[in-house]
Amino acid sequence: MVDRAVTLFADMTHEGVQPDAVAYNTIVNGCVFSGRLLSACEILSQAISQKVRLADDTYDNVLRNFMINRRMSVEQKRRFAAVVCKYVRECRVPVNPGNLRRVSAAFLAGRHQF
């Protein structure tokens, strides 16, 4: 089901339709809760470039699931952490400070375990 939603979302953006915050929140949360964190990262990157601010709990969901994910490579985690931290900083998003501190510190230190 999430695969179809991601495909539809991609088709929509390729056709020039600008997703709103509701569409971004829905697809990012769907990706996160189905374990597709790399897809969530790509979509967050799109949201950054479009200056769309997502719901505050979306960031906490992304960060929490990112930290417990064991299937991502170190490079994938570093890339993901960079995107999330950039998004939070640029959009001034009030996320759980503990989650953001852990991800930021681990990213800057280059640690493998987040």
- Taking only the tens place, the pLDDT of each residue in 59-96 is 777 777 776 666 767 777 777 777 777 766 776 666 56
Q: Total domain count for the chain?
A: 1
Residue 51 inside a domain? The answer is yes
Residue ranges making up the domain that contains 82: 2-109
* pTM for this prediction: 0.69
Residue 114 inside a domain? The answer is no
Q: Tokens for 21, please give them.
A: 């915050």
Residue 18 inside a domain? The answer is yes
Q: Which residues of 1-26 are buried (b: 16+ CB within 10 A; e: fewer)?
A: ebeebbeebeeeeeeeeebeeebbbb
Helix 97-109 crosses helix 74-91 at what angle (to 10 degrees)? 130
Residue 26 inside a domain? The answer is yes
